[in-house]
Chains A and B, each alone.
Chain A
Amino acid sequence: MNVQRLGRAFFADPATAAGTIIVAGFLTLALFGPLVAPYSPTAQNVDLIRQPPSPSHLFGTDRLGRDLFSRIVYGARDMLALAGGGTALAVIFGTLIGVSVAYLGGWLEELVFRLFDGLLAMPALLLALLLLGAVGPSRVSVLLVIVVVYTPIVARVARSVVLTLKPRGFIEAARMRDERLSYVLWRELLPLVAPTLAVEAALRFSYAIFLVASLGFLGVGVQPPNPDWGLMVLEARNEFALAPWSLYVPAAAIALLVIGVNLMAEGVRRAIGES
């Protein structure tokens, strides 16, 4: 596959470029957070509660006098680490399981995918909440939830592609040549499954951000006093009259990131579809 052409197709669309810039911006914030953030994300200051945005507090302060800009910056780190890490793990596990089990077929395939069907019979958020109810809320739980919720979906996508490739001549040829199983799986099949999986991964990433934010808002994800964006919205839900910025700043951060990732995902889909 021609990487250069793929890149050009990807950036040809202004919307995709805009999405990429947004995501890259948040990524920079997340990576260099401590250098940019003027205050500690959890430091309270009773003298400075509910300050409107000003030069010293760019996004204002919340009802506990915490600097919202610093909280957003540190929150970006959690958000991208959890959503990105969870998605990456789910894609890796889903691909490993989906490709190998679909290729091997037989009772193993039946068993694994019946199990996945059982998992997918639950709407994503229900499964997420069920898992969190069982293991208790924490950062690690949120990561686990994303992996468990998205692995079956990725595996199912990988399987559907493998099933169309399996009867093709080159697979039969590889088998005739007596190639090792790992060769067939990762050298023959994987490169052909990869484009579809890339599209799926981009899509999953945007859903994962949505999911992390929703879990934070429901109060069952990352716990206080951590600067989780969804949790920040929850904590500020009664601040309409007193400090509306403490509600709108994290809400805007979530919306901006989700839109950015969506635009990027759309670009990945288009670029891969074209080449």
Chain B
Amino acid sequence: MILRYLFRRILLLGATVLVSSLIIFLICRLLPGDVARVLLGREAGEAALAALRAELGLDRPLLVQYLDWLRGFVLGDWGIAYSTRQPIRPLVLERLGNSLLLAGATLLLALPLGIGLGVWAGWRAGKPDDALINVSLLSVTGLPEFVTGLLLIDLFAFRLRWLPANSSIRPDATLGEIAPQLALPAITATLVLLAYIARLTRTGVINELSQEYVRTAMLKGLTPLTILRRHVLRNALLPTITVIAISLGWLISGLIVVENVYNYPGIGRLLTFAIDRRDLILLQAIALITVVIFAVANLLADLMYALLDPRIRLGDE
């Protein structure tokens, strides 16, 4: 049963990623007008343009170019970044590793904290501490990542001198060396996710608390803490998994900005670099790999949900 569910999900996701790859390709090839001119700049001569078109295969039909690009991507040949003349795959994979490290550190901070605050606020709904949590979370969401980031730099790097302001880590640095440089970016990205996770968890808890079974448990004489722990949390945390899946999109968007605030050498920094240089070939590869990762992460969250809640996979039939 679960296998069939999994199979269907993968098929659907594969189709979506395929559509996405086509969109990415068309955005990068059709919108700029003349790709060769964008890459070479305004002053480029006709001969240089023609040579580049031939080199990149831009003179071939669009469909051929698309299929060729897609095949190369699947087979591991991602092409050469035009701006730096480096092969794209090792470059992107190295940056991706850094980004995943930062994303992991962020989730490690944001999940326990966000769920904790959300459960607290939901349990104490309508009381002063719930209001306090709500207001402080709301004010944090009001601040874009780069504003909170710069505030944190000002406080922790310049005034207190606890942490470095710049997180441009060397490729051969050990985890111990990286940790302090990871701290501020991870905290900044956490602040954005925190409000989101906490608010949805709060809704889940409030929802569960209004169910009949809670009243039964209460009439049965269970202590509030037991009810919360044994009954409410188990049900309320289920939607939280979906929350994690949804917030992955936020996390990716947030990390793009955060990496740029701290000069952290991740995929988001590479992305703005590619745009700055108008390197469409590199841009295309970064966009596609991000979409694939986003899709796989979503699939994993979906799968976890289905494993935990039989109603999902059975109701699907």
Chain A residues packing against B (C-beta within 8 Å): 114-115, 117-119, 121-126, 129-137, 210, 213-214, 217-220, 230, 233-234, 237, 240-241, 244, 247, 251, 254-255, 258-259, 262
A262–B18 Cα gap in the complex (Å)? 35
Asked if A121 contacts B17 (CB within 8 A), the reply is: yes
Contact of B154 with A240 in the complex, beta carbons under 8 Å: yes
Kindly name the residue among A115, A122, A233 whose own CB sees the greatest number of chain B CB atoms within 10 A: A122
> Which single residue of chain B is at the shortest CB-CB distance from A247?
B150
Size category, B interface: 35 or more
Contact with A along B281-299 (1 / 0, CB 8 A): 0010001001100110000
Nearest Cβ in chain B — how far from A136, in angstroms? 7
Q: Could you list which residues of chain B lie within 8 angstroms of chain A, going by C-beta atoms?
A: 15-20, 22-24, 27-28, 31-32, 38, 138-139, 141-147, 150-151, 153-154, 158, 249-250, 252-253, 256-257, 260-261, 271-272, 274-276, 278, 280, 283, 287, 290-291, 294-295
CA distance A115 to B276 in the complex (A): 28
Contact between B274 and A133, CB atoms less than 8 A apart: yes
Interface SS of B by simple majority: helix
Beta-carbon nearest neighbor of B141 in chain A: A262
Contact B139 A126 (CB under 8 A): no
The binding surface of chain A is classed by DSSP as helix
A118 contacts B23, CB within 8 Å?
yes
| Beta-carbon contact of B24 and A233 below 8 Å | no
**Of B27, B146, B295, which one neighbours A131 at CB under 8 angstroms?**
B27
User: Are A218 and B257 within 8 A (Cβ)?
Assistant: yes
CB contact under 8 A between A130 and B19, given known A121-B294, A233-B147, A262-B142? no
User: Are A119 and B256 in contact (CB-based, < 8 A)?
Assistant: no
Q: Is the CB of A122 within 8 A of B260?
A: no
Q: A114 to chain B: which residues have CB within 8 Å?
A: 15-16, 19
Q: In the complex, are the beta carbons of A214 and B19 less than 8 A apart?
A: no
Query: Please, which residues of chain A bring their CB within 8 A of the CB of B280?
Result: 133-134
Please indicate the chain B residues that have their CB under 8 angstroms from the CB of A217 in the complex.
Answer: 144, 146, 257, 260
Distance (whole angstroms) from the CB of B9 to the closest CB of chain A: 14
Query: Which of B18, B32, B145, B146 has most chain A Cβ within 10 Å?
Result: B146
Q: Which residue of B lies closest to A251 (CB)?
A: B147
Shortest CB–CB separation between residue B164 and chain A, in angstroms? 14
